[in-house]
Amino acid sequence: MFKSLRESVVVRIIVKSLLLLLLINYAFILIMNVPIGKLSLYNHLFTGRERFPFGENPQASYNLSIYNLDAMIASHQIAAVPKADDEYRVFVVGDSSVWGYLQPPEKTLASMLDLKKLRCNGKTVRVYNLGYPSLSIVKDLMIIDRIKAYAPDLIIWMVTLESLPIDLQTATPLVANNAIALNHLISAYGLDIPRLNVDNRKFSLIGRRRELADLIRLQFYGLMWSATGIDQEYPTEYNPAQCDFEEDYSFHDFKNNELDTARLAINVIEKAIESNDDLDFVVINEPILVSNGVNSDIRYNYYYPRWAYDQYRAWMESEMERAGIDYYDLWNLVPEKHFTNSAIHLDYTGEEILTERISSVLEDTCKK
């Protein structure tokens, strides 16, 4: 029986298939730098997305989190919108509050700013949402480094203290899954961020199977996005942001109520602005929830004890001034009741308040 099997066509097929699979699997490493993510049906067959793909429940949100930067950008409307001669192009970059968690695409900060049809130096201000939900300043730079190719006139960079600790920079999945891009950024901008190891085995066909499947899934969900205009799951109920706290003074593992600024990646902002001197930047300390609940004399919110945030604000102010960066501290602009499920996520009214304020920031910037 086994002798006949050795001679059989079935065994030959199986052996040849396995060899071919091995060959293709490892040959795939050779194209690890080929931007396959740029192949996209968005902006061709499907409408470009108004914000980057992100989602934890694709079946309901018609959106999913992917970590291929090329694919993220290719699916965004920015990849295809030609810049008109009279367009003043503004990109808003930041975390989930910019992306618009729990807000439909037309009610995010960028969309609401865009709807204002502001004018800047005789040009129409067009504003694009290029936020991405995770707290990491390096993640923001990774996006800025790619999207600057789409000719922005101004980048509004929304930051908060939680996105600055150096230890957390590479923990965010978008950064962790882009080791090559991160290491390139570190070299190009001279950042003081630990490099990530690049494991070539991860670039085989089997190693990239999840990424490839996600790229294909993203294309399919493009149809649903075009058909419904939905790109996020909107729960009817959610847990509101925490306003009552334990008597807790901690901020990560910072000791003695002392914010060790050497452990904060503010130089990422400075290096980014310095290296892109052909672009205008406005850095904004984004609004946070300032609680009036239990132990609110100790903590502003879930993220921040008062001591850490106050030190951060003072330090940020002086650092930005020293570096000559346009900086606005809007930390307490939005009242407590206009936050949704987190200390940085705004409701519609909160977005309106912020939009009004940033409109005036834009007008000021244009006058300069």
Partner 1 sequence: MTLTHIAVFIILAIITRLWKQTAVSGWVMMIAGIIFVFWLQPVSSIRSLEFWLPTVLFGIVIICWSIVTPPEIIHKPENKWSVLAAGFVILLISGLRYTGIQWISKFVNPPAIWQVLIYGALVACLAFAIIKASEGRKYYAIGVVTTLLIIFSLLKYQPAALEISRIWRQLNGQSTKIAGAFEFTWVGYSYFAFRLLHVLREWQQGRQSMANFKDFILYITFFPSFTAGPIDRLEHFQKELATRNSREINEDFLEGGKRIGRGLLLKFILADSLAMIAINPASATQVTHSGWLWVMVYAYAFRLYFDFSGYTDIAIGISRLMGIRLPENFNRPYLAENVTVFWNRWHMTLTQWFRTYYFNPVTRFLRSREKALPAAGIILFTQLSTMILIALWHGISLNFVLWGVWNGIGLFIHNRWAEWQKDRAKQSDNTSNRDFPSTVRKFASIFATFNFIALGWIWFAIPDFSTSLRVFAQLFGGQ
Q: Is 4 in the site for partner 1 (CB under 8 A)?
A: yes
In this structure, are residues 329 and 278 in contact, taking their beta carbons and an 8 Å threshold? no
Structure tokens that stand for 19 in this block: 């060899």
Q: Is 94 in the site for partner 1 (CB under 8 A)?
A: no
Instruction: Report, in this order, helix, strand and coil percent for the chain, each rounded to 5.
Output: 45, 10, 40
For residue 46, what are the β-bridge partners? 42
If the CB atoms of residues 30 and 216 are measured against partner 1, the closer one turns out to be 216
Site for partner 1 in 13-42 (CB under 8 A): 13
> Is the C-alpha dihedral spanning 353, 356, 359, 364 positive or negative?
negative
Q: Is 212 in the site for partner 1 (CB under 8 A)?
A: no
Piece in contact with partner 1 (CB under 8 A), picked from 89-97, 225-233, 241-249, 316-324:
225-233
What stretch of H or E contains 327? strand 326-329
If the CB atoms of residues 236 and 256 are measured against partner 1, the closer one turns out to be 236
We find the least distance from the C-beta atom of residue 230 to partner 1, in angstroms, to be: 6
Q: How far apart are CA 91 and CA 156, in angstroms?
A: 6
Q: How far apart are CA 125 and CA 19, in angstroms?
A: 57
In this structure, are residues 173 and 65 in contact, taking their beta carbons and an 8 Å threshold? yes
Q: Is 236 in the site for partner 1 (CB under 8 A)?
A: no
We find the least distance from the C-beta atom of residue 298 to partner 1, in angstroms, to be: 39
Q: Is 57 in the site for partner 1 (CB under 8 A)?
A: no
Piece in contact with partner 1 (CB under 8 A), picked from 55-63, 123-131, 195-203, 277-285:
55-63
We find the least distance from the C-beta atom of residue 64 to partner 1, in angstroms, to be: 10
Q: Which of 29, 41, 196, 230 binds partner 1 (CB under 8 A)?
A: 230
Q: Is 107 in the site for partner 1 (CB under 8 A)?
A: no
For residue 90, what are the β-bridge partners? 127, 154
Q: Is 262 in the site for partner 1 (CB under 8 A)?
A: no
Q: Is 58 in the site for partner 1 (CB under 8 A)?
A: yes
CA distances from 365 to 88, 153, 248, 328, 362 (A): 12, 11, 40, 11, 5
In this structure, are residues 87 and 124 in contact, taking their beta carbons and an 8 Å threshold? yes
Q: How far apart are CA 307 and CA 327, in angstroms?
A: 21
Place of tokens 């980014």: 272
We find the least distance from the C-beta atom of residue 223 to partner 1, in angstroms, to be: 5
Q: Is 217 in the site for partner 1 (CB under 8 A)?
A: yes
Piece in contact with partner 1 (CB under 8 A), picked from 7-15, 84-92, 93-101, 248-256:
7-15
Place of tokens 């936050």: 339
Piece in contact with partner 1 (CB under 8 A), picked from 4-12, 20-28, 65-73, 313-321:
4-12
Piece in contact with partner 1 (CB under 8 A), picked from 8-16, 65-73, 154-162, 267-275:
8-16
Which residues make up the interface to partner 1 (CB under 8 A)? Answer: 1, 4-5, 8-10, 13, 58-60, 216-217, 220-221, 223-224, 226-230
